Structure formats: structure tokens, C-alpha cells
A and B are shown apart, each in its own frame.
Chain A
């Protein structure tokens, strides 16, 4: 039994390596490079020896059953995971070549480059305008004209401008769930990040709003690197370029999305994708 696991581990490591090679060969720039990342919540070993390379201006989907560590990994990329007091990490993640897990690197700076959209829409209890302007404001942009422009540009970027342009001063909680989520995406766009992390952004939305968000992700891909955690395998297949399959805190397989969904190399990936568990 233990022998088998070791074998699997070796094959997994090999897979990881070939991916890194292919990533380099595909000429894309790497945004996030994760090396031997381990993470514990207290005594719980939540992420085990993660090695992943995430490319610029691609959509990377992370799939896996509940509790497999996919959200934890995502939150490690902008260090939101540190809000849990008992968290401990080893290994290294570099963002554009700079190590980020290091306590000396400024977490606020990282988060201005790496925006995040959460599972449940979480607009601030403020007006639509102030929601978008919040990010620029905390980063020192106070000029009203510039803010107006940023607000319009961000709302247009999230394809919600036409729906809200006449009610910018109204409270964001008057919007529907799908609109709130696009507002949250617009809020992230307002500080022009390089990467957008999305943590199951459509799990609280109806199918129509989900489609709108998926279309939006396709558009955003032109300018942003997107990493999306999703429960929905069809969604991963529809919108992502690469897919990582997480299981029990490990990366089982990471490859081009088509490959993962048509000819996965690992049995466990196949089982999960064909709906045999999870």
C-alpha cells in the first residue's frame, strides 16, 4: 500500500516537472511559481508539496472535491490565508520572480497586484460608485475626475455599466446577486491588478448570471491572468486554458484543460471528472 503511494507520488512529481518544462517552452511568462508548498492549519496538513506554475494571461482552473485545499491554495497566492491565525507554511511561491511568502514582502502591495473575487458577492455597504472608488482611494487617488473615469472604465470592464450607470449613488445591496458579483469584479479591476483570483465566483449565482460571469472571464483573459477555483467541472472545461486537479491537499494532475478532460493520465482524475466521486 505504502509502496503504491510512493510510486504515485513519484509519477506525480514527474508530471509536475514536465509541466514546468512545457510551460517554459510555450513561451508564456510565468506569474506564479509554486515550489514545494506545504501548509498547515494547526495540526491539519492542508496542502502537501504543491508544485504549480501559472502562466500570464491564461485562465487556470483549480478543480477538486470539497476540502481538497483548492481554496486554501488560491488564498495563499494573495496571502489571505494568513488571516487564519494558526496557519503555517513552508516552501516558496514567487510572483513574477519575487518571493511572496517571506514576511518581509509587503502583503498590501501583493494584493494590489493580485486581486480577488470571493465566493459570495461581498460589496461594501456603500454606494455603487464608492464601492469601485474604494480601492483607488486607499491607494491615494483623490481627484474626482480621475475617480469618475476609473469608475466608468471598471464598470464597463465588468460589463455592468449599462445596468448601473443611472444609479451610481444607490447602495450596492440593491443589486441582484449576479450584478453584485460583477460589481465586485469591477471593484477589483479598478486598481488594475495583474492577476485576478476567483474563489468559486458563481457558486452563489443562478445559471444566467453564471454565464455572464463566464463570458466576462473570457474577455478579462486578454488583459489579466485569472486563476479560478470551481466546483463545476463543465465551467472549468468551458473557460480555462489549464486545469489543476487537487485531491486531499495534493496536486494530482496539472495540464492543458483539454488534456485533463479528454485523456487524463491519473486514474483519480478520470474518476473525479467522470463523476465517480466528489
Chain B
């Protein structure tokens, strides 16, 4: 008993001593307290500086391009012939290709992704969800080059066997495959949005005699609308920026057309093609890369701003 109390006292003294000792090194820890936030700030600002740097580069080279090609001709020109003797730099064929491929992708990914999200969030049992959701997310982990290959060597031949008018390189096939690529993103984000609607609200609807379907479409989906729309906008923005799939499967014809059976080029694919060696620094083609990249940047920036605006505007508080 006595030994025990002695032990306790020893222990007590130990702690006091340790605290005392640590107090002595306090001046050092105060310095650390001040330095660490500054370092953290520097790390945080790296991303901002990088963005600013990229935008500055894009901007200066784009301005250089517009000194050689009038801005009006660039944005209204329907002909893009950068390599010809009399080059023309109309960006519309590229914008058209980008929008059409993104639209096709969203026509595939939107409905499928949303339905998958509804199933996962409202109907699937925990066990099914635990298996399905990771599998869905595997889709998102496949490298886009594999998707591009898949579009070119599998999807295109399948489409052509059904619809022979479709050319060997066309916008339809990469559009569909981009859609498949985006499905997990839309499904996962929409599912998160719907799952975060509290169960008490579902109970309220079910308690009024609503069926599962009525509860889902008239209560849960409106409540999750901001998240669902945001997932769509992010999906579009992903499709706009997608490069490999369209580069491989849509060829490099700079057609300005709405015929989805034909080959078209997107902004991203143009950048890949031109930066693939032929453009010597200082030539007009070289600068056109920056102008197209700038246009692309503005496009995705607008989409992201739209996503933010939409998710604020449609937020339903619960």
C-alpha cells in the first residue's frame, strides 16, 4: 500500500518535471507556431500562382496570334486550314466538334448516370450498393487512351455494322464512349447528392401514402437538384476537356458539319495534332495553339462557374 502511494507520487513528480522541461523550450515552439502557417500559406499559393502563370502565358501568346489573324476571323471563320498555302484559322469547326461530341456524351451519360444514381441511392440494398459503387468507380479509373482504343476498334465497327453510312473515323463513336467514361462521375456525384437528403424527409412522403417512385421523383430529386445539376455540368466540362478518345476515334478532318457520321475535330484534338511536331515556334500555327487553348480554357471555366452558380441557386435547405 505504502509502496503504491510512493509510486503514485513519483509519477506525479515526473509529469510536473516533464511539463517544466517543455516550458523551457517554449521559445522554440513559439517560432514554429509562427513559421508553419507561413509555410502552409506558401504551399497553398503555389496552385494559385501556377494558374496565374498558365493564364498569363496563354494570354500573351493568344494576343500574339490575334496580331496575325484578326479576332473576328478566328471566332466566325468556318474554315480551318492551318497547313495550307493560304492558311485559314476559323475556330468554329473545332468548337462545333467539341460541342457535338460533348452533347452526344451527355445524351449517353446523363440518363444512364442519373438512373444508376437513383437505383443506388433509393432502391439498392446496402449489400448491393457496396458491390456496385466501387465497380462503377473502376470505370472512372480506366485510362482515357484505353477508352479511345475501345471507341476506335470496337464501338465504331459495331456502329458501322448497324449503320453503314458511318465513316471509319466519326464523332458519334467517341461521343458515346466519352459518355460511358462520364457515367461514373454523374452517377457517383448524383448519388451523393440524393443520399445526403435526410431519411426523415423520405419518411414524411411515405407517411402520406406516397409510393417509392413518387417519393424519389417529387421529394428526393427536387431536394438533391443542385447536386444533380452540378454533376451534369461537371460531366459536360469533363467531356469538353477530354482529349485522347476524340483524337484517336474521330480523326483530324476539320469539318464544319452537324452530321455525326462524319469525322470532326475537337479543340483538344487540334492541340494534340498541331503540337505533335509540325508547328515550329513562332509560326502562326504555333500561336493558333494558344488561341485554341485559351478558348477551351474559357469554355471549361464558364462551365465550372455555371456549376457553382447552379448549385447555389437551386440549393434547397434541409
- A residues contacting B by CB (< 8 A) are 78, 80, 83, 85, 108-112, 115-116, 118, 120, 122-126, 134-135, 137-139, 171, 173, 184, 187-188, 191
CA distance A118 to B307 in the complex (A): 35
A123-B204, A125-B222, A134-B218 given; name 17 further pairs at CB < 8 Å.
A80-B203, A109-B209, A110-B209, A111-B207, A111-B209, A116-B207, A125-B223, A125-B318, A134-B210, A138-B205, A138-B210, A138-B218, A139-B209, A171-B317, A188-B207, A188-B208, A191-B208
**Which of B125, B198, B318 gathers most chain A CB within 10 Å?**
B318
Distance to closest chain A CB from B227 (angstroms): 13
In the assembled complex, which residues on chain B have CB atoms less than 8 Å from the CB atom of A137? 218
**Which of B208, B222, B223, B317 gathers most chain A CB within 10 Å?**
B208
Would B318 and A173 count as touching, CB distance under 8 A? Answer: yes
Q: Interface 1/0s, chain B 287-318, versus A by CB < 8 A?
A: 00000000000000000000000000000111
In the assembled complex, which residues on chain A have CB atoms less than 8 Å from the CB atom of B318? 125, 173
Distance to closest chain A CB from B315 (angstroms): 9
Give the number of residue pairs across the A-B interface with Cβ within 8 Å: 73
CA distance A68 to B231 in the complex (A): 44
CA distance A240 to B298 in the complex (A): 66
In the assembled complex, which residues on chain B have CB atoms less than 8 Å from the CB atom of A188? 207-208
In the assembled complex, which residues on chain B have CB atoms less than 8 Å from the CB atom of A122? 198, 200-201, 203-204
Distance to closest chain B CB from A208 (angstroms): 23
- Can you give 23 contacting A-B residue pairs, CB < 8 Å? A83-B206, A85-B125, A112-B209, A115-B207, A115-B208, A124-B205, A124-B219, A125-B201, A125-B222, A125-B223, A125-B317, A126-B222, A134-B208, A134-B219, A137-B218, A138-B214, A138-B218, A171-B316, A171-B317, A173-B318, A187-B204, A187-B208, A188-B208
B211 lies within 8 A of chain A by Cβ: yes
In the assembled complex, which residues on chain A have CB atoms less than 8 Å from the CB atom of B211? 108
Distance to closest chain B CB from A271 (angstroms): 33
In the assembled complex, which residues on chain A have CB atoms less than 8 Å from the CB atom of B223? 124-125
Distance to closest chain B CB from A67 (angstroms): 20
Question: Chain B at the A interface: mostly helix, strand, loop or mixed?
Answer: helix
With A124-B223, A125-B222, A126-B316: A118-B204 Cβ-Cβ less than 8 Å:
yes
In the assembled complex, which residues on chain A have CB atoms less than 8 Å from the CB atom of B207? 78, 80, 111, 115-116, 118, 188
- Lowest 10 A-B CB distances belong to which pairs? A125-B316, A112-B209, A122-B200, A111-B209, A116-B207, A135-B208, A125-B318, A122-B204, A108-B209, A173-B317
Would A118 and B200 count as touching, CB distance under 8 A? Answer: yes
Would A124 and B210 count as touching, CB distance under 8 A? Answer: no
Closest A-chain residue to B210, C-beta based? A138
Would B317 and A124 count as touching, CB distance under 8 A? Answer: no
Closest B-chain residue to A109, C-beta based? B209
Closest A-chain residue to B126, C-beta based? A85
CA distance A224 to B72 in the complex (A): 73
Would A135 and B201 count as touching, CB distance under 8 A? Answer: no
CA distance A135 to B218 in the complex (A): 11
In the assembled complex, which residues on chain B have CB atoms less than 8 Å from the CB atom of A125? 201, 222-223, 316-318
CA distance A210 to B207 in the complex (A): 22
In the assembled complex, which residues on chain A have CB atoms less than 8 Å from the CB atom of B203? 80, 83, 116, 118, 122
In the assembled complex, which residues on chain A have CB atoms less than 8 Å from the CB atom of B201? 122, 124-125
In the assembled complex, which residues on chain A have CB atoms less than 8 Å from the CB atom of B198? 122
Distance to closest chain A CB from B220 (angstroms): 10
In the assembled complex, which residues on chain B have CB atoms less than 8 Å from the CB atom of A116? 203, 207
CA distance A187 to B208 in the complex (A): 8
CA distance A235 to B203 in the complex (A): 25
Closest A-chain residue to B317, C-beta based? A173
CA distance A267 to B318 in the complex (A): 45
Closest B-chain residue to A136, C-beta based? B208
Q: Interface 1/0s, chain B 205-246, versus A by CB < 8 A?
A: 111111100100011001100000000000000000000000
In the assembled complex, which residues on chain B have CB atoms less than 8 Å from the CB atom of A135? 208-210
Closest A-chain residue to B197, C-beta based? A125
Closest A-chain residue to B212, C-beta based? A108
Would A111 and B206 count as touching, CB distance under 8 A? Answer: yes
Would A120 and B200 count as touching, CB distance under 8 A? Answer: yes
